[in-house]
């Protein structure tokens, strides 16, 4: 029997995750069954369960994808050379967010991941660790801003980073739930706060 290539395995996994994401966006985590995902993927039961033995495994894999793209982007923002001003860090973070808000974006699922994390201790641990890491990128940006003189020498980078990071989910939650404000309006408000 010929070996299946790594590319084939990765493509099949991606096919299942894409099908699950479509189901979850359309019907939510709790109204989507494994049968729904199998049908959406157009695969056999065995093919899907080979990669994902349970719906929770699918949810965790999607959560990792949701957060993984943000992690790489935010890491780049916090280590830009020369350092970005804090409003520039926020602007670029929100620019990334805007790319992830549409029907093919990952952020609409973030709200479902947060909800699911309230009842699933394993997912809750993953979400807490990941959001702590994401917040850490903003702490790094705040430390660099303090060292560059943008913030006063006695500013606490942990506090500034936490507050700055909090503006990101605040923005995309409002955009998902109400459709507004747009990025320019939100940034104008943030600029007024950061003065």
pLDDT the model gives residue 1: 57
Same domain flag for 21 and 63: no
Same domain flag for 109 and 77: yes
pLDDT the model gives residue 128: 93
CA distance 103 to 134: 23
Same domain flag for 115 and 40: no
Same domain flag for 71 and 116: yes
Q: Which of 28, 53, 78 is the last residue of a domain?
A: 53
3-state secondary structure 59-122: HHHHHHHHHHHHHHHHHHHHCCCCCCCHHHHHHHHHHHHHHCCCCCCCHHHHHHHHHHHCCCHH
Same domain flag for 157 and 124: yes
CATH at 152:
1.10.357
pLDDT tens sequence for the chain (195 residues) = 567 788 988 999 999 999 999 999 899 888 999 999 999 999 999 999 999 999 989 988 887 876 777 888 899 999 999 999 999 999 999 999 999 898 778 888 888 888 888 988 988 998 899 999 999 999 999 999 999 999 999 999 999 999 999 999 999 999 999 999 999 999 999 999 887
Tokens matching residue 31: 């109204």
Q: Which of 23, 38, 53 is the last residue of a domain?
A: 53
pLDDT the model gives residue 106: 80
Query: Which residues are within 8 A (CB) of 27 and not within 5 positions of it... i.e. 6 or more apart?
Result: 36
- Nearest CA-CA partner of 168 in 80, 84, 74, 83: 74
Q: Are the C-beta atoms of 62 and 109 separated by less than 8 Å?
A: yes
Tokens matching residue 82: 């020369």
Same domain flag for 73 and 47: no
- Nearest CA-CA partner of 24 in 49, 48, 60, 53: 60
Same domain flag for 43 and 135: no
pLDDT the model gives residue 2: 64
Same domain flag for 45 and 82: no
Same domain flag for 82 and 49: no
Parent domain of 38 = 1-53
pLDDT the model gives residue 69: 79
Same domain flag for 49 and 74: no
Same domain flag for 24 and 63: no
Q: Which of 19, 35, 53 is the last residue of a domain?
A: 53
Same domain flag for 152 and 184: yes
Which DSSP state fits 29?
A: S
Count of domains observed in the chain:
2
pLDDT the model gives residue 187: 97
CATH at 18:
1.10.10.60
**5, 23, 64 from 46: Cα distances, Å:** 18, 19, 23
Q: Are the C-beta atoms of 97 and 172 separated by less than 8 Å?
A: yes
CA distance 84 to 78: 8
CA distance 117 to 137: 22
pLDDT the model gives residue 105: 80
pLDDT the model gives residue 123: 86
């Amino acid at each position: 029997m010929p070996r299946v290539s790594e590319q084939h395995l990765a493509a099949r996994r991606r096919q299942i995750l894409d099908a699950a994401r479509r189901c979850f966006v359309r019907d939510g985590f709790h109204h989507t069954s494994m049968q729904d995902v199998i049908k959406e993927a157009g695969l056999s039961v065995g093919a899907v369960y080979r990669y994902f033995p349970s719906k929770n495994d699918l949810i965790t894999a999607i959560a990792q994808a949701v957060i993984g793209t943000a992690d790489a982007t935010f890491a780049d923002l916090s280590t830009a050379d020369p350092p970005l001003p804090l409003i520039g860090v926020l602007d670029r973070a929100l620019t990334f967010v805007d790319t992830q808000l549409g029907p093919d974006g990952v952020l609409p699922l973030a709200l479902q991941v947060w909800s699911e994390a309230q009842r699933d201790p394993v997912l809750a641990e993953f979400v807490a660790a990941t959001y702590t890491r994401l917040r850490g990128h903003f702490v790094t940006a705040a430390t660099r801003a303090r060292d560059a003189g943008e913030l006063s020498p006695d500013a606490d980078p942990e506090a500034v980073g936490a507050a700055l990071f909090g503006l990101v989910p605040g923005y995309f939650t409002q955009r998902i739930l109400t459709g507004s404000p747009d990025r320019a309006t939100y940034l104008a408000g943030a600029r007024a706060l950061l003065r």
